Chains A and B, each alone.
Chain A
Amino acid sequence: MTVTDRPWTFYIEDVTKTYDDGATFANDHITFQIRPGEVYGLLGPNGAGKSTLVKQVIGLLKPTSGAITLGPYDLVADPNVARQLCSYLPQAQVPIDSFKVHEALTVSGRIRGGEKEAVRARAEAMIEALAIEEWRDTLGAKLSGGVRRLVGFAMATVWPGLLVILDEPTNDVDPLRRRCLWQEIRRLGAEGAAVLLVTHNVLEAEQSVDRLALIDEGRLIAEGTPSSLKAADRGRLRLQLMLVPGAETPELPALVHDHSRVGNHLVTVIDEGDAADGITWAQQAMASGVAEEYALGATTLEDAYIRLTGQSKEL
């Protein structure tokens, strides 16, 4: 099965998944669609219901209600066709301890229905594109976590389905190869696949996805392009303080709209008109020994994410 550029669309319509006899909603009436060639981000905090949703797409879980379709196929009614149409990279590492890298790719390609020679050629091309040539003949057991992640990605996409589902594909991957990985993800889209990218790395998603959905507590709380989700933050700036290690979060002035702290990074959102006052506050924090430096810049998708999920503590 090869990627096609002819018309079809992947739909998730009103999908609900409950546990405990309906008492707990893992997914609550979720609806969105992905078109061929589109890289679609599924963002949300840990436990938001992202992986549960993905497992329903590939037939590992059955929705309590709702429909999942791709072209003419009902993926809920026919999990076999769901597995044929979707390529899936789970969040956990792939089981390749006994496989050499090139073997893992060629066997995966054959399992996914590719012809022997075509799969072999594509596997070699992917090894080169992901800059992992030096591990081509290395057993999976001897690979670092990042290289293993790249091999997992290549296994899922060496002979891709129409819908490629990637759950945190960049975990553990070094910055250089991360760039190669994003190029490969964009290439999948360019060749006509629909890519569903599950992540909580908001900054990477902003640069890489065409559209995205934000899920929190099982509900879809926002959907659109990165720019449209940031629209409410127009006229605002991001003021970031690098705190001294171990320092407590300084008292926030009234001009701060939202804030979050991850490690020693304190990120705040202020109005453009308050920039001067914000800088003064940041400089005072430095002068009092609470902060080491500060940076003022445009708001990012992360700020929209914080605003929409109401998360003010940690991402």
Chain B
Amino acid sequence: MTSVAAAAGVPTKRSGVGHWLDTYRAMLRWEVTGMRLLLPLTVVVQVLIGAGMIVGIAVLFHGIPSRNALFLSTGAAVVTLITVGIVVGPQLVAQQKQMGTYDFVWSLPVPRSAAASAWITLNVLIALPGMVVALLVALVRFDIDLDVSLSVVPAVALTVFCGTLVGYAMAHAIPKPEVTDGIAQVALFTVIGFSPINFPPENMPGWLASLHRYLPFESMANVVRAGLTEGIVHDLARSYAVLAIWSVGCMALTAWALRRH
């Protein structure tokens, strides 16, 4: 391709690791600068969601058993990680579509994977303060025993990665931004109220608990919780496998949607 292009007087196609890293850095700057006005507010909202869940439930229910408190505390941290990807992301893409800026953003000369990675990095930056504050509030409020291991790093990365890809796929595959917005709201409601994130699956109806074995939310909670606690998470390999499958599936769906569009 190089020699043919040179013969025709056209620059060769840019590719390779160096090009990918250059465009990743440029897109990260694009995303961070683009969110500059909203970033502080978004981080504060995430912090309030995480801390608010712990404080709110502690107000409603007195004398929470320590195991439940541990579930709630680590669950609240996971919720802050998930909501950025599946709520903020789709809403921003929906906004791009409504304002007509979608075509401009997706015509930028960068590899899709570099653009997606920059967005995922920004999501991690937005979500982490909420997670940390939620855990700190839980330590103070419930006096829980955390057992943090290094495995929390890949667990958090994979959870944000998968959550962002779920949001990405949703936002790109659904043509109407209003529908995307609605589904994002339902997803948020499902994550907070009807997923075994803040409580064990045994507390749910059997059919819903079974369904959640194939949805990504319980697995996200499992991998992060395993990195923060000791002895309450089992079948970790399955959770990683579920997240890997969802990530790959959502990547494929996004790629298909962008190609079809």
Which of A73, A93, A96 touches B13 (beta carbons < 8 Å)? A73
Residue B214 lies at the interface, judged by CB distance under 8 Å to chain A: no
Which residues of A, 20-69, contact B by the 8 Å Cβ criterion?
Answer: 55, 58-62
Residue A1 lies at the interface, judged by CB distance under 8 Å to chain B: yes
- Residue pair A103, B33 in contact (C-beta under 8 Å): yes
Which residues of B, 33-56, contact A by the 8 Å Cβ criterion?
Answer: 33-38
Which of B36, B96, B107 touches A60 (beta carbons < 8 Å)? B107
Q: A8-B10, A60-B103, A71-B8 are known contacts. Are A98 and B30 too (CB-CB below 8 A)?
A: no
- For residue A66, give the distance in angstroms from its CB to the closest CB of chain B: 17
- For residue B125, give the distance in angstroms from its CB to the closest CB of chain A: 15
Beta-carbon contacts of B168-189 to A below 8 Å, as 1s and 0s?
0000000000000000000000
Q: Give the CA-CA distance A84 to B108 in the complex, in Å.
A: 8
Interface size on B, residues (CB 8 A): 38
- Residue pair B261, A98 in contact (C-beta under 8 Å): no
Q: A71-B9, A72-B10, A112-B109 are known contacts. Are A92 and B37 too (CB-CB below 8 A)?
A: no
Q: Give the CA-CA distance A96 to B96 in the complex, in Å.
A: 12
What residues on A are CB-neighbors of B27 within 8 Å?
A: 111
Q: A90-B107, A98-B36 are known contacts. Are A84 and B14 too (CB-CB below 8 A)?
A: yes
What residues on B are CB-neighbors of A1 within 8 Å?
A: 11, 14
Q: Give the CA-CA distance A2 to B103 in the complex, in Å.
A: 23
Which of A60, A80, A162 touches B10 (beta carbons < 8 Å)? A162
Residue B26 lies at the interface, judged by CB distance under 8 Å to chain A: yes
Which residues of A, 90-126, contact B by the 8 Å Cβ criterion?
Answer: 90-99, 103, 107, 110-113
- Residue pair A7, B110 in contact (C-beta under 8 Å): no
- Residue pair A72, B4 in contact (C-beta under 8 Å): yes
- Residue pair A70, B10 in contact (C-beta under 8 Å): yes
Q: By CB atoms of chain B within 10 A, which of A112, A152, A161 has the most?
A: A112
Residue A298 lies at the interface, judged by CB distance under 8 Å to chain B: no
Residue A305 lies at the interface, judged by CB distance under 8 Å to chain B: no
Interface size on A, residues (CB 8 A): 48
Residue A85 lies at the interface, judged by CB distance under 8 Å to chain B: yes
Q: Give the CA-CA distance A152 to B100 in the complex, in Å.
A: 13
What residues on B are CB-neighbors of A60 within 8 Å?
A: 103, 106-107, 261
- Residue pair B34, A98 in contact (C-beta under 8 Å): yes
Q: Give the CA-CA distance A110 to B26 in the complex, in Å.
A: 6
Q: By CB atoms of chain A within 10 A, which of B30, B38, B107 has the most?
A: B107
- Residue pair A73, B104 in contact (C-beta under 8 Å): no
- For residue B111, give the distance in angstroms from its CB to the closest CB of chain A: 7
- Residue pair A61, B109 in contact (C-beta under 8 Å): no
- For residue A192, give the distance in angstroms from its CB to the closest CB of chain B: 10
Residue A81 lies at the interface, judged by CB distance under 8 Å to chain B: yes
Q: Give the CA-CA distance A62 to B257 in the complex, in Å.
A: 12
- Residue pair A8, B8 in contact (C-beta under 8 Å): yes
Q: Give the CA-CA distance A73 to B107 in the complex, in Å.
A: 17
What residues on B are CB-neighbors of A93 within 8 Å?
A: 99-101
Residue B80 lies at the interface, judged by CB distance under 8 Å to chain A: no
A78-B13, A86-B107, A111-B26 provided; 12 other pairs, C-beta below 8 A?
A: A8-B8, A60-B107, A62-B260, A71-B9, A79-B259, A90-B103, A93-B100, A98-B38, A110-B22, A110-B26, A111-B30, A112-B109
8 tightest Cβ-Cβ pairs between the two chains A and B:
A6-B9, A92-B100, A71-B10, A71-B8, A95-B101, A98-B36, A83-B109, A110-B26
